[in-house]
A and B are shown apart, each in its own frame.
Chain A
Amino acid sequence: MVSAGAGHTDARALAVVGTERMAGLARGAHRDVVAVVAGAVAAAWVVVGLLGWRVLTPHDPALQNPSDRFARPGVAHWIGADQFGRDVLARVLAGARPVLVVAPLATALAVVVGTAVGLTAAGLGGWFDGVAMRVLDAVTVFPSIIAATLFAALVGRSRLVLILVIAATFVPIVARGVRAATLVECAKPYVEAARLRGEPTWSLLVRELLPNVRATVLVEATSRLGDAVFAAATLSFLGLGEPPGSPEWGATVSENRVWLTLAPWTLLAPALAIASLVVAVALLADALRRRVDAP
């Protein structure tokens, strides 16, 4: 008994496969759109930071103009003016540069130190691993805000202090992630082969292990970048950032929060700037992690 109809066989079978694949593609495309939008927002802020406010607006963010005090958004001041008559748009644009200097530098420092510590701790193991991880635990439990206050009191408020405090907060997180990934790699035979042929320790770490954990390092770096933007804004909100008068977003939110009902634009504009950058970087980090984790 032979059944006819081999013709529509593949059409049916394909249809089954087809619907499953379409659903998968649709999800993928949706994620791609999100990643592209996030990338565009982040890139826009980088451009603003690089160009500086001078190219983008005629207003000087520091110039006080009492006649424009609390000017509503309009033709003269696109998103209004603050209590000293300073242009809010100019201040928001000018505020991009400090955060775009602090966050990447702090992240880079944290990733370099954290990767070195995590890689070495996992690669060497033994007492070094124990001591390094306990030290990092101690750093983790010490609140970063108190550390920042302490530093600001001791050496004054500066961009460098801000970078160091944020980096110190992130080192344990990066180190732990890299250490976990390195431990997984360490269990693989190629590492054993390297030990058996007497590969020097630094070579084992840098030549054999580092290339195999670089995906983790990359994901850690982007994840921490978003956090660093937020941390920079938080610390400057608390007055632990740059000296007063700086157009930093956190500080701007802080100084205008009393005028929330009177002139909400003075507060909302820098707050939205923080939010857009933090969310954009976080979404980019997610997209990157998905790509790295994909089999």
Chain B
Amino acid sequence: MTRQGLRVGDLRAAYGGEPVLHGVSFSVEPGEILGLVGESGCGKSTLGYLLAGEIAPGGQVLDGRIELDGVDVLTLDPHALRGWRARQVGIVHQEAAASLDPTMTVGAQVRSALVNSGVPRSASAQTALGLLSRVRLPEVETLARRYPHQLSGGQQQRVVIACALVGNPRLLVLDEPTTGLDASVRHEILTLIAQLRAELVAAIVLISHDLTLIGQVCDRVGVLYAGRLVELGPARAEPGDTGLLSGTQHSSSGVLDTPAHPYTAALLASQPRLGQSRTRQPLSAIPGQAPGPGITVGCAFAPRCPLATATCRAGEPTLDPVGHRRFVRCHFPLDTAPLDTAPPDTAPLDTAPLDTAPLAGSPAAGPAQPVGPPRGSALLEVRGLTRRYGRTVAVDHVELDIHQREVVGLVGESGSGKTTLARALLGLATVGEGTLRFQGGELHPRLARRTAETRRQIQLVFQNPDTSLNPRQRIRRILGRALRTLRAGQDTVEQVVERVGLGAEVLDARPDQLSGGQKQRVAIGRGLVGDPALVVCDEPVSALDVSVQAGVLELLAAERDERGTAYLFISHDLAVVGYLADRVVVMYRGRIVEDGPTDAVLAGPHHPYTAALIASSTGQSPPRDPRSLPGPVPTRNLGCRFAPSCGYAMPGTCDIERPPRRELGAGHHLDCFLEPGELPLVASLSSAVPTTVASTANQTQGASQ
């Protein structure tokens, strides 16, 4: 059998006559991981499906070739295609856990996939166990008899990957394999993918919107925009092969280090890095929206490109080589010289300062000087707060102060009690003890017992604007009701949409007619109409594209700068929290394990759990690998909740006694038995500017003010 990997040639596809892929060509060698990135609607998933020989209803392939080890997939007849799919290709779709049948044990599911690929039924049980251990699942005999709901999210994902490995596929397509998983679980899955790459020697295509993730595991990156591959090349600089073998002076730079296409550069500049703070390096959002399916004249990115000229609008560029193994579809590619040799004044990426629409009050004053939270009496005081669901203690004796104008970031994995804490503040989670004080007065734990004034003062921005806006109401009605109930009619809905950077034309639309970013702006506008003193933001950008994320974050920050709004900003993403927050609070299993000023918490020394969070979000292994996966913790556990997974745990101490609260610096506390000198430190925090793009964007930002 020839092992040539995957070759995709000039692939064109359409939905209902509207072209969605415009001549995509690339190849993936056996044992190589190619990452495909892009915003939603750029054709990532269509391409992923096509690679597995699947065409969504209403779709059609107009032209092109997909060859795997010399077999042209698109010319196979349906019968051959089925056999090919069963044996040659493994595909893991988005929200993979939902593709597990809840009524079948996971062992049975892997077996049925094996039987379909031609493995005799008698041999399938043993092979299934082999596959489950191959994806590094523990105690496979027991685990195979469990049902999907008895597994953790990461374990479910591993089972789905095991199903995709049936028949030793020559091509593995992973479509957003870690979306919705915690940072630590995400790290485990990425490690698994890297391990499988070495074992399988298959071509692996990893589709994601997350540049960090792509940078962590992929050898090469393809950037998709509007159904076109706009940039293709090694993900990171390859120091090993620079010029030594070929004898020539290659500039072997990586796409994610020194992007050549303005779109790639803009994508990189719109995603916060861990340690990046808004006060020092504001993000730049990409103006406008990605075009939908259809034919465009000229470069597809030209309408949003700060460098576009008449040439760009007239003719579409071709995918041309630029530097060693790199290709870019741009008339005026950016300089891709390796980072250390790049003169600081190259690539003047004149990204428009944050989003299309004018924001009410430019953030000029904000980023210039860090807004230190005024001391004195807190806006909100939480004392000994405990909240339960049935017998589960979701929030356990939490103490928290939020001051006026302060952005408090709350991080932790799913199940850590972040959302329950937020709901308790809002008066929606009521079962448990503890006191809440707001603006010096008692705050009733039940929403129904709070006054209209208090309700106006504490508002919420939800995670997913798809469900937080009533689908049957027009925007005018949604905002109008908020004005009626929260403001008694001084403002108009037009002023509200202007305040959140939208045009009046959205007023007559229904939520499903708006983009994700627009919907979230409407939702934020609804929460802000009454000028609340405290806004709880529950993962406000995690459902949004990277390119609009920055604009929404800036909108929230601008409100704080202008009106002194305080935020409790909840996220599982440490980079996003660190970007905006003055102070970070880390929660683990219902308890606050560390809190302090953002810089101090990120710089360390850390609580071992914080260290693990930081390490996994920078793609490193946690300091001293966890010995076991965390299991259910008994609610009467008196010791440290993190002890079972902590590499530093001292048996007989950590698991029995509650750890002492240590003060490391001004306002920086953590709960741990370790002496400050013994606490872990995670190095290589990218507080320095990692790319020229970010720095130039920053300079531009500074110059424009």
Binding site for B on A (CB under 8 A): 1-3, 5-6, 8-10, 12-17, 20-21, 24, 188-190, 192-199, 203, 207-208, 211-212
Bound Cα distance from A20 to B78, whole angstroms: 11
Looking at B4, B77, B428, B481, which has the most chain A CB atoms within 10 Å of its CB? B481
26 A-B residue contacts at CB 8 Å?
A: A2-B67, A3-B65, A8-B75, A9-B64, A9-B75, A10-B61, A10-B74, A13-B74, A16-B78, A16-B81, A24-B57, A189-B467, A189-B468, A190-B468, A190-B470, A192-B460, A193-B468, A193-B523, A195-B447, A196-B426, A196-B428, A197-B456, A198-B455, A199-B481, A211-B473, A212-B472
B633 part of interface (Cβ distance < 8 Å): no
Which residues on A sit within 8 Å (CB–CB) of B402? none
Q: Are B455 and A13 in contact (CB under 8 A)?
A: no
Flag if B59 contacts A1 (CB, 8 Å).
no
Q: Does B526 contact A (CB under 8 A)?
A: yes
A188–B485 touching, CB < 8 Å: no
CA distance A193 to B538 in the complex (A): 13
Does A1 contact B2, Cβ atoms closer than 8 Å?
A: yes
CB distance from B523 to the nearest CB of A (A): 8
Cβ contact within 8 Å between B70 and A1: yes
Q: Give the interface centre of B59, B470, B482, B523 by most chain A CB atoms within 10 Å.
A: B470
Is the pair A190, B467 in contact by a Cβ cutoff of 8 Å?
yes
* Bound: A193/B485 CA distance, A: 12
Task: Specify which of B57, B70, B81, B473 is in contact with A3 (CB 8 Å cutoff).
Answer: B70
* Nearest B residue to A3, CB-CB: B72
* A198 to B486 alpha-carbon distance, docked (Å): 8
Chain A interface secondary structure, helix, strand, loop or mixed? helix
B residues near A13, Cβ cutoff 8 Å: 55, 60-61, 74
Q: Are B455 and A9 in contact (CB under 8 A)?
A: no
Report yes or no: B60 in contact with A17, Cβ–Cβ below 8 A.
yes
Given the complex, which residues of A lie within 8 Å of B481, measured CB to CB? 194, 197, 199, 203, 207
A198 to B451, CA, bound (A): 9
Residues 49-76 of chain B: 1 if any A CB is under 8 Å from the residue's CB, otherwise 0? 0000001010111111101001010111
**How many Å from the CB of A188 to the closest CB on chain B?**
5
Assuming A3-B75, A188-B467, what are 14 further A-B pairs, CB within 8 angstroms?
A: A1-B2, A1-B4, A3-B65, A3-B70, A9-B72, A10-B60, A16-B81, A190-B469, A190-B470, A192-B462, A197-B482, A198-B486, A199-B485, A211-B470
Are A6 and B63 also in contact (CB < 8 A) when A13-B55, A16-B78 are? Answer: yes
Q: Say yes or no: B63 contacts A12, CB within 8 Å.
A: no
Which chain B residues in 657-686 approach chain A with CB under 8 Å? none
Measured between alpha carbons, how far is A8 from B62 in the docked complex, in Å? 10
Q: Which of B2, B75, B464, B469 is A12 in contact with, Cβ under 8 Å? A: B75
Q: Is the CB of B63 within 8 A of A9?
A: yes
Number of residue pairs A-B, CB distance < 8 angstroms: 109
Bound complex: CA of A190 vs CA of B485, how far in Å? 15
> A6 — which chain B residues lie within 8 A by C-beta?
63-65
> B452 within 8 Å of A by Cβ?
yes
The residue among A16, A17, A188, A196 with the most chain B CB atoms within 10 A of its own CB is: A196
Chain B: interface secondary structure?
mixed
Residue B459 at the chain A interface, CB threshold 8 Å: yes
Nearest chain B CB to A127 CB, angstrom units:
14
Chain B: which residue is nearest A4 at the CB level? B72
Q: How far is the CA of A192 from the CA of B469 in the complex (A)?
A: 10
What's the minimum C-beta distance from A166 to chain B, rounded to whole angstroms? 31
Q: Tell me which residues across on chain A come within 8 A of B639, comparing CB atoms.
A: none
Q: Ordered nearest first, which 6 A-B pairs have the shortest CB separation?
A: A211-B472, A189-B468, A9-B74, A190-B470, A197-B485, A3-B72
Known: A189-B468, A212-B472. A12 touches B76 (CB 8 A): yes
**Residues of A with C-beta under 8 A to B630:** none
A13, B62: Cα distance in complex, Å: 10
CA distance A3 to B481 in the complex (A): 62
Question: Which A residues are in CB contact (< 8 Å) with B434?
Answer: none
Chain A residues, CB < 8 A from B468:
188-190, 192-193
Contact between B473 and A197, CB atoms less than 8 A apart: no
A198 to B483, CA, bound (A): 11
Complex interface: chain A residues within 8 A of B456 (CB)? 197-198
- Known contacts A3-B67, A16-B55; A10 and B460 CB within 8 A of each other: no
Task: Find the residue from A6, A20, A198, A207 having the highest chain B CB count within 10 A.
Answer: A198
| Contact residues in A for B447 (Cβ distance below 8 Å) | 195-196
Which residue of chain A has the shortest Cβ distance to B60 in the bound complex? A14
Closest chain B residue to A6, Cβ basis? B65
Q: Contact: A12 with B67, CB < 8 Å? A: no
CA distance A203 to B485 in the complex (A): 11
A197 and B72 contact, Cβ closer than 8 Å, known pairs A17-B57, A189-B464 = no
Please pick, from B63, B76, B81, the residue contacting A10 in the complex, using a CB distance under 8 A. B63
Alpha-carbon distance A15/B77, docked complex (angstroms)? 9
How far apart are the CA atoms of A207 and B482 in the complex, in Å? 13
* B338 CB within 8 Å of chain A: no
Q: Is B471 an interface position by the 8 A CB rule?
A: yes
Residues of chain A contacted by B470 (CB below 8 angstroms)? 190, 194, 208, 211-212
A17 in contact with B63 (CB, 8 Å): no
How far apart are the CA atoms of A208 and B485 in the complex, in Å? 14
Nearest-CB distance from A31 to chain B (Å)?
Answer: 18
- In the complex formed, the residue of B with least CB distance to A195 is B447
Would you call B460 and A196 a contact (CB within 8 A)? Answer: yes
Docked complex Cα distance between A16 and B55 (Å): 9
Whole-angstrom distance between the Cβ of B80 and the nearest chain A Cβ: 10
| Contact assessment for B72 and A5 in the assembled complex, using a CB-CB cutoff below 8 Å | yes
B462 proximity list for chain A (CB < 8 A): 189, 192-193
A192 contacts across to B, CB distance below 8 A: 428, 460, 462, 468
B-side contacts of A9, CB under 8 Å = 61, 63-65, 72, 74-75
Task: Report the bound CA distance from A8 to B262 in whole Å.
Answer: 37
Within 8 A of A (CB), among B1-25: 2, 4, 9
**Min distance, Cβ B133 to any Cβ of chain A, angstroms:** 36
By the criterion CB–CB under 8 Å, are B486 and A197 in contact?
yes
Q: Chain B contacts of A14 at CB under 8 A?
A: 60-61
Least distance between B31 CB and chain A CB atoms (Å) = 19
Name the residue on A nearest B469 (C-beta). A190
Q: Which residues of chain A are within 8 angstroms of B463 by Cβ–Cβ distance?
A: 189
Interface residues of B in 203-258 (CB under 8 A from A): none
Q: How far is the CB of B521 from chain A (nearest CB, A)?
A: 15
Most buried by B among A190, A192, A211, A212: A190
Contact present for A12 and B471 (CB under 8 Å): no
Residue among B61, B456, B464 facing the most chain A CB atoms (10 A cut-off): B61
User: Which residues of chain B from 591 to 649 have any CB-CB distance to chain A below 8 Å in the complex?
Assistant: none
Residues of A within 8 A of B486 (CB): 197-198
- Give Cα A193–Cα B62 distance, bound, in whole angstroms: 46
Report B436 CB to chain A, min CB distance, Å. Answer: 15
Min CB–CB distance A171 → chain B (angstroms): 25
Residues of B within 8 A of A199 (CB): 481, 485
The smallest beta-carbon distance between A124 and chain B, in angstroms, is: 11
Contacts of B2 in A (CB 8 A): 1
- Alpha-carbon distance A189/B426, docked complex (angstroms): 13
In the assembled complex, the Cα of A203 lies from the Cα of B468 at a distance in Å of: 17
Nearest residue, chain A, Cβ from B483: A197
